[in-house]
Amino acid sequence: MSFSGPWKESFVSLKIDPPFVDKVLTRFIREELNKHGFKKGILGLSGGLDSAVCACLAARALGPRNVLGLIMPYGDSFSADVRDAEKWGHFLGIRTQTIDIAPQVDAYFAAQPTQSRILRGNKMARERMSILYDYSAREKALILGTSNKTELLIGYGTIHGDMASGVNPLGDLYKTQVRELARYLGVPASILRKAPTAGLWSGQTDEQELGLTYSEIDEILENLVEKRRTLPDIVKDGFKPSIVRRIALMIRNSEFKRKLPPIAKLSTRSVGHDFLYPYDWGK
Amino acid sequence: MKVALAQIAPRLGDIDRNLEIHLEFIEKARREKADLIVFPELSLTGYTLKDLAGDVALDPRTDPRFKKILERTKGLSVVLGFMEESAADKGLFYNAAAFLTGGKILHVHRKVYLPTNGLFEEAKFFAQGRDFRVFPTPFGRAGLMICRDFLHYGASYVLFAGGADMIIVISAAPGRGVARGDGFETSRMWELMGETVSYFSTAFVFYVNRVGIEDGVSFAGGSFIYSPAGHLLARAAYLDPEFLVHRLDFTAVREARTKWLFKRDEKPDVILRSLERVVRVPED
């Protein structure tokens, strides 16, 4: 038996209609900010794909002058990314500001030395977060998150670092879908073709570190998450069992990054358990 | 007759580990020469399943892990909790309790009252059972209930009217309220119902609640046995795991029923007619 045509299941669910997604997300950004009394949005601009797409959506939703992109390199180790971020910000007409995080990061690690690139990378992500929150208050601007669905699901992000935000327009788009949306939004090739990096250290790329390409990861995630298929079923399609197992384990082991910490229940009305109100309460 | 209450803390979403715990406690019960061991609600899977429900659901008639438990029920009956997905109802996940004995499944009860309020989300993920039934066991007639079922006294009434000598309740009741003393305030609610139902049904009530913490919620423990005369025969610790073995004398059922004639004088036909009217009223 063979399947063909538009209904072939395995190709259906990762397809997006970029103009429609653009419509939904710009409305989401505009409405969420309005409801919570913000006119302005702020985000970290890394020079990578996710923040480029988020900045573009924000510019369209709020007007470019109401968007502030903070470019926060560590010294001059990511100068090509800084240039890409500045150029894209300029093209969109949003405000940008560059803050070098090296002094504060170096001051910390001078006192608390480490050889671990992961520790250093996480610290940098959290320094960027603390600057974003400081500027959020200075500018009365809400922080727009740039974590995509792939990262959220496999836990490829720093908790309370790049995962922290006020609202997240990209959290339900897989990396490959963000790329598709980026093409539609006219994100330049220099950003589109760049190897995705968490910027944890110079020369690091996500796909190298994960040992898989994003399209491979997304295809497995689609099977596990969207289609709720079991591991043995997915393996029958020809995926390597060790890889599918590894991704399933990454999802499982990163649930803590996607939740608020559990509160020990004592009373009959506990925050998070049975004191439950909508996020948009009264807005 | 000897009954063992296994007040355990299952591991969330890990059937293999929980299977080991079950087999270990079944062996313990056998060494204690118990006739029946009762595990808490969803003992094979843990409680706060959410989207895991479908992943841990199994068909007790065919599942090889379930078979491992069934094989160990010769001369020792087992009541346990699991997520049921039967071949006939694919895609429907029931919060279920099974009574096993002599390598056979005597009865499967599917939870009828699925709490879906406050911290509870059962009806969001589970399908709803539709029946309460009394069935014969090697030591008298039994009825099964799962947690919230027991707080709706009509359910106990059906088992009483159906002739149950023992009402077995398996539970995963979280504790709430800390102003009471050595246990959560909500523990009193279960004990009150245990006392009342045992007394007025002139039947044993075995209530087995779990312990442990899932996502910040502490399960209260405090499993208990009430006699057909409404006496508390044994109670396990609040909060901590316990393996409680208690010897019972089933002549207590006869004694209670000759002292208080609730069972003899019960009129299920009158109740049924009256209930039919209650149910019809909105249409009148």
Cα distance between residue A104 and residue A127, in whole Å = 8
Kindly report whether the global pTM for this prediction surpasses the value 0.90.
no
Contact flag A267-B178 (C-beta cutoff 8 Å):
yes
Structure tokens at B188: 């009193």
The enclosing H or E element of B82 equals: strand B77-84
pLDDT at A5 (0 to 100): 40
Query: What are the DSSP calls for A113-148, one per residue?
Result: ----HHHHHHHHHHHHHHHHHHHHHHHTEEEBP---
Contact flag A273-B216 (C-beta cutoff 8 Å):
yes
Interval B245-278: pLDDT, tens: 999 999 999 999 999 999 999 999 999 999 999 9
Q: Indicate which CATH number applies to the domain containing B222.
A: 3.60.110.10
In a mutagenesis test of the B interface, which of A274, A275, A277 is the best target, namely the one with the most B β-carbons within 10 Å? A274
Q: Which residues contact B11 (CB under 8 A, 6 or more apart)?
A: B17, B18, B21, B46
ipTM confidence: 0.79
Do A164 and A143 contact (CB within 8 A), yes or no?
A: yes
Contact flag A266-B178 (C-beta cutoff 8 Å):
yes
Interval B174-214: pLDDT, tens: 998 987 778 888 999 999 999 999 999 999 999 999 999 99
Name which of A211, A201, A198, A204 is nearest A114 in CA terms. A201
Domain boundaries, position B18: 2-283
The answer to whether B123 contacts chain A (CB < 8 Å) is: no
Cα distance between residue B132 and residue B115, in whole Å = 17
Residue of B nearest to A262 (CA): B216
Q: What is the pLDDT along chain A (283 residues), one digit of tens a residue?
A: 333 344 444 444 688 999 999 999 999 999 999 989 999 999 999 999 999 999 999 999 999 999 999 999 999 888 999 999 999 999 999 999 999 999 999 999 999 999 999 999 999 999 999 999 999 999 999 999 999 999 999 999 999 999 999 999 999 999 999 999 999 999 999 999 999 988 777 788 989 888 899 999 999 999 999 999 999 999 999 999 999 999 999 999 999 999 999 999 999 899 989 998 888 887 7
The answer to whether B65 contacts chain A (CB < 8 Å) is: no
Do B176 and B182 contact (CB within 8 A), yes or no?
A: no
Do A70 and A172 contact (CB within 8 A), yes or no?
A: no
Tell me how many domains chain B contains.
1
Cα distance between residue B281 and residue A277, in whole Å = 36
Name which of A130, A145, A153 is nearest A225 in CA terms. A153
Interval A254-275: pLDDT, tens: 999 999 999 999 998 999 899 9
Beta bridge partners of B244: B5
Give the C-alpha distances (Å, rounded to integers) separating A49 from A84, A94, A190: 10, 17, 10
Name which of B240, B111, B238, B146 is nearest B187 in CA terms. B238
Which residues of chain A are within 8 Å of residue B218 when distances are taken between CB atoms? 264-265
Name which of B162, B125, B160, B168 is nearest B144 in CA terms. B168
Measured in degrees and rounded to the nearest 5, phi and psi for residue B187 equal -60, -35
Q: Which long-range contacts (CB under 8 A, 24 or more apart) does B131-138 make?
A: B132/B158, B132/B159, B132/B162, B133/B107, B133/B109, B133/B162, B134/B159, B134/B162, B134/B163, B134/B164, B135/B99, B135/B106, B135/B107, B136/B106, B137/B77, B137/B99, B137/B101, B137/B106, B138/B35, B138/B77, B138/B101, B138/B102
Which residues of chain A are within 8 Å of residue B54 when distances are taken between CB atoms? 228
Residue of B nearest to A260 (CA): B215
Cα distance between residue B73 and residue B79, in whole Å = 10
Indicate the Cα dihedral angle B259, B264, B268, B274, nearest 10°.
-70
Contact flag B119-A264 (C-beta cutoff 8 Å):
no
Amino acid at A170: L
pLDDT at A11 (0 to 100): 45
Interval A213-229: pLDDT, tens: 999 999 999 999 999 99
pLDDT at A202 (0 to 100): 78
Output DSSP code: residue B7. E
Shortest Cα distance from A42 to chain B (angstroms)? 33
Q: What is the pLDDT along chain B (284 residues), one digit of tens a residue?
A: 999 999 999 999 999 999 999 999 999 999 999 999 999 999 999 999 999 999 999 999 999 999 999 999 999 999 999 999 999 999 999 999 999 999 999 999 999 999 999 999 999 999 999 999 999 999 999 999 999 999 999 999 999 999 999 999 999 999 989 877 788 889 999 999 999 999 999 999 999 999 999 999 999 999 999 999 999 999 999 999 999 999 999 999 999 999 999 999 999 999 999 999 999 876 65
Contact flag A263-B216 (C-beta cutoff 8 Å):
yes
| B213-214 and B217-218 beta bridge pairing | antiparallel
Q: Walk me through the domains of chain A, giving residue ranges and CATH numbers.
A: 13-258 (3.40.50.620)
pLDDT at B284 (0 to 100): 56
Q: How many CB pairs under 8 A join A and B?
A: 35
pLDDT at B283 (0 to 100): 62
Do B66 and B82 contact (CB within 8 A), yes or no?
A: yes
Cα distance between residue B54 and residue B126, in whole Å = 9
Contact flag A270-B178 (C-beta cutoff 8 Å):
no
Measured in degrees and rounded to the nearest 5, phi and psi for residue B209 equal -105, 155
| B232-235 and B242-247 beta bridge pairing | unpaired
Shortest Cα distance from A278 to chain B (angstroms)? 13
Cα distance between residue B53 and residue B47, in whole Å = 9
Shortest Cα distance from A8 to chain B (angstroms)? 22
Candidates A263, A265, A272; nearest CB to B174 = A265
User: Could you report how far apart the first and last alpha carbons of chain B are, in Å?
Assistant: 50
Do A128 and A100 contact (CB within 8 A), yes or no?
A: no
B238 three-class SS? strand
Contact flag A274-B118 (C-beta cutoff 8 Å):
yes
Give the C-alpha distances (Å, rounded to integers) separating A272 from A35, A79, B124, B137, B220: 22, 43, 17, 43, 19
Measured in degrees and rounded to the nearest 5, phi and psi for residue B208 equal -120, 115
